[in-house]
Amino acid sequence: MDKITIGYLGPAGTFTEVAVKELFGHRSFSLQAFSTIEECMEAAQKKLMDYTVVPIENSIGGSVSTTLDRLIHELEVPIQGEVHLPIHQQLLVHPKQKNRENYTHVFSHPQALKQCSDFLSKEYPGVKQQTMNSTAEAARVISENPDKPWLAIANSVARNFYKLEIKKENIETFSTNMTRFVVLSYLPLEIDTKRKKASIIVSFPQHDLMILHDLLSLAQIFRLKPTKIESAPMKTGMGEYFFFIDFEITNKEEGFKEMCRLIEQIGCNLRILGCYPSK
């Protein structure tokens, strides 16, 4: 079997890398880390990678706005799969700084900072929060600055990779913290799961939001369960929106196709982002 190339949000040690290994661990692959989600998605669009994995949603922080915005407004590359991972955040420190009582900065991805906001406000209220492109990048910065009174929020993989110490484990506000990652590619993907999802982007004629009711009524007819509905501005005027909608379609693909046909018949603009396996 030929080795495939997979792009992901780097550097080494991100949750996205963990998601890649969960999805592709049974195959031979080479990894390409990108510094930002934008770079990941650009590589997917230009077919620089066979597959590209990016986060799209967290159970605490909500949608990853960069991913969703680019899927809606800029990309044509389809979603070929998804995986949900439990997320546990660790407060990390360089070994030289472990016994300090006062710190000046805590570094992490905006989503991770949001996921740990209760802990930070209670235990480190005066510490400046510094956003990074990824949790692993935050860990790398701490490892390269051993004399700085800095902290990082990242996972245990990054801790081991960058040889940091744990100041506090599992600091996320909710223990049920989960992140959803999607695979972008022009190539189909086989995942060991029977579950299937579908994602669409739809807009309504005359921007009549009441048509959302008609759309959901069609979904009910075909017993298709929406698992996510989110509006996003068209960027053309106030009150003008796209809707990003996910459906559970396990064993109901024909019903999904018929629903989409009827949605277009009532005058909606529809784009199917993908019908894909969900792990």
Domains, the chain, in order of start with CATH, read 4-86+177-184 (3.40.190.10), 90-168 (3.40.190.10), 196-277 (3.30.70.260)
**Pair of tokens at residue 209:** 């939001």
The tens digit of pLDDT for each residue in 54-80 reads: 999 988 888 888 999 999 888 889 999
Question: In which order are the strands placed within the sheet that holds 165-168?
Answer: 128-131, 105-108, 150-154, 90-93, 165-168
> pLDDT tens digits for 179-194?
999 999 999 999 989 9
Token pair recorded at residue 166: 């744990």
- Residue-level pLDDT at 263: 95
What global pTM score does this model have?
0.85
